[in-house]
A and B are shown apart, each in its own frame.
Chain A
Amino acid sequence: MNSRPSVISSRRASSLLLCLAAIGACDGAPRRGERANVILIVIDGLRADHLTPFGYSRDTSPFLDEMAASGVLFENTISQSSGTKTSVASLLTSLYPEAHGVRGVKDVLPDSIRLLPEVLRDHGYRTFAIHGNPWLEERFGFNQGFDEFRFTHWYKDTFDAQMVNEQALQWVDEKQTPPFFLYLHYMDVHSPWKPPGDFDRFGPEAVDQYDGSSNTSWTSKAEPKSYTI
Chain B
Amino acid sequence: MTADLGETRNVAGVNLALTREFKEKALRFRRIETAKRIDVAPGAEIDEELRKQLRALGYLN
Contacts and interface: CB of A to CB of B under 8 A. Distances in A.
A137 B43 CA distance: 13
Interface residues of A, number: 31
A113 interface: yes
Interface of A: 13, 95-101, 104-113, 133-135, 137, 139-141, 153-155, 190-192
B36 interface: yes
B46 A106 contact: yes
Interface residues on B, range: 20 to 34
Is chain B's binding surface mostly helix, strand, loop or mixed? Answer: loop
Contacts of A141: 41
Most buried by B among A133, A134, A154: A134
A153 B56 contact: yes
20 contacts: A98-B30, A98-B34, A98-B37, A99-B33, A99-B37, A100-B37, A101-B41, A106-B43, A106-B46, A108-B41, A110-B38, A110-B41, A112-B39, A133-B57, A134-B57, A137-B50, A139-B45, A153-B56, A154-B57, A155-B53
Contact of A108 (B36, B43, B56): B43
Interface of B: 7, 29-30, 33-34, 36-46, 50, 53-54, 56-58, 60
B54 A134 contact: yes
A101 B46 contact: no
A107 B43 contact: yes
A56 to B, nearest CB: 15
Contacts of A105: 46, 60
